[in-house]
Amino acid sequence: MAQTERSGCPINLTLEQLGDRWSLIVIRDMMFGNRRSFGELLAHSEEGIATNILADRLKRLTAAGLLSRAPDPAHRQKSVYSLTEASIQLVPLLAHMGAWGRRHTPVSRELSVRAELLEKGGPPLWSAFMDELRHLHLAARRPPRSVFADFQSAYEKALARRARRSKP
């Protein structure tokens, strides 16, 4: 989708930037899954993103200032992609998408736990998460608590609960 600026409405302009099938999925995976390289994003894509689409989106989002890219100091073939302040500020938007989706679409329980926590935690939790993302992606100071760790442990609990529930 070309950047066409069909109108100056903020909702429209946000959609022109992010309103395709895959951009927010890439940002979600970096944000919640801490995927930072092409290979990680590809290998762990729940939705099965194609290589050409992933390459295209990483390039576009980087050009638009929503991601940044640096060489991986540990491995010369790889780049490390990071969120920028602009993409970190999408946390409330993604939280609302998660909340709406939990209510109106047939979500899987395990993949919903983060959305549930974000909804329950509200704006204070979102701010804490954004601070943590600034630490992980922008070299900001480490915040006192890890929202990320909360998400992970809730997800693992949900997986364990499911494994227990599916016992014969």
Footprint of a copy of itself on this chain (CB under 8 A)? 1, 5-17, 19-21, 24-25, 28, 46-48, 86, 89-90, 92-94, 96-112, 115
Instruction: List all residues 6 or more positions away from 58 whose beta carbon is below 8 Å from its beta carbon.
Output: 26, 38, 41, 67, 69, 81
Among DNA, a copy of itself, none, the one that 144 touches (CB under a kind-dependent 5 to 8 A) is none
**Cβ closer to a copy of itself: 28 or 35?**
28
Among a copy of itself, DNA, none, the one that 58 touches (CB under a kind-dependent 5 to 8 A) is DNA
Among DNA, a copy of itself, none, the one that 78 touches (CB under a kind-dependent 5 to 8 A) is DNA
CB 88, min distance to DNA, A: 21
Helices (H), the chain: 10-18, 23-32, 38-43, 51-63, 85-88, 91-104, 113-138, 147-165
End-to-end CA separation in angstroms for the chain: 49
- What residue ranges bind DNA (CB under 7 A)? 1-2, 20-22, 37-39, 48-53, 55-56, 58-59, 75-79
Among a copy of itself, DNA, none, the one that 53 touches (CB under a kind-dependent 5 to 8 A) is DNA
Chain Cα centroid distance, residue 7? 27
Question: Closest Cα to residue 143, out of 88, 93, 96?
Answer: 88
CB 118, min distance to DNA, A: 25
CB 4, min distance to DNA, A: 7
How many alpha carbons fall within 13 Å on the CB side of residue 3?
A: 9
